[in-house]
Amino acid sequence: MSLKNSINIENLPQHIAIIMDGNGRWAKKQGLLRALGHENGTKSVRTVVESCAKLGIANLTLYAFSTENWNRPSLEVKTLMKLLITSLEKELPTLQKNNIRLNAIGNLELLPESAQNQLLDVIEKTKENKKMVLTLALSYGSREEIVSMVKTISNKVKNNIISIDNIDELIINQHLYTQNLPDVDLLIRTSGEHRISNFLLWQIAYAELYFTDVLWPDFKEDDLHEAIISYQKRERRFGKTSEQIK
């Protein structure tokens, strides 16, 4: 029986976020260059994106490139940026076919101009799509996002745009990169690592965490379904007791 048949469509996570880890280790195991690991990782991206759209997941956020990734060898960074550009161009028809809108979060100004232009082009061409929002976290770091939010709100308080007494979770959410996205319900990390790695620290406050040893290029539709089934078996209490939930 297909794992998909075990998924309760009435209890889907509305926002799945994925730390796509293990491209380099996958390549090393195959005796290949790291770049080929990243290339093969894009196949898993397409599989997961299309699978989420078919299931009816409203929001999918992928950790594509962190602020810390800028510290990798320059050749690898250049390779990743080229791969980003070609992947955006190549996957546009897939996004259009599946009615998926592209979104991006992070310090995008640090991206090469060619990557920024390609990203903005695909975002513009998919802006009317309604079925799912695919968000790429690029040059993204959650601590940087929070620092930026604090600075922006502080400036608005200083200029009497916001009263300090009115600052609450809603105000904070409105000043994060993810202001138009709901909180994360399910966070998946591949490759056997058990870290959050500076990803959506505010937004995953009540997310269910799912870790798998599968390396990202080997992550297939059944692996996604396993993660969702695990999510659906958990009791989400949000601070309440089991009795209150029932």
3-state helix, strand, coil in the chain (%, to 5): 50, 15, 35
State residue 101 phi and psi, 5-degree precision.
Answer: -95, 130
Q: Given 5, 8, 11, 21, which residue is catalytic?
A: 21
Catalytic residue among 40, 69, 213, 223: 69
Tokens 């297909």 belong to 2
- Residue 183 is among the residues annotated as catalytic for this protein: no
How many residues make up the chain in this entry? Answer: 246
The amino acid at residue 100 is I
* Extended beta strands in 48-206, E state: 59-66, 100-105, 132-140, 186-189
166 belongs to the catalytic site: no
Separation CA 112–CA 102 (nearest Å): 19
Cα distance between residue 13 and residue 236, in whole Å? 11
Q: Which residue numbers are catalytic?
A: 21, 69
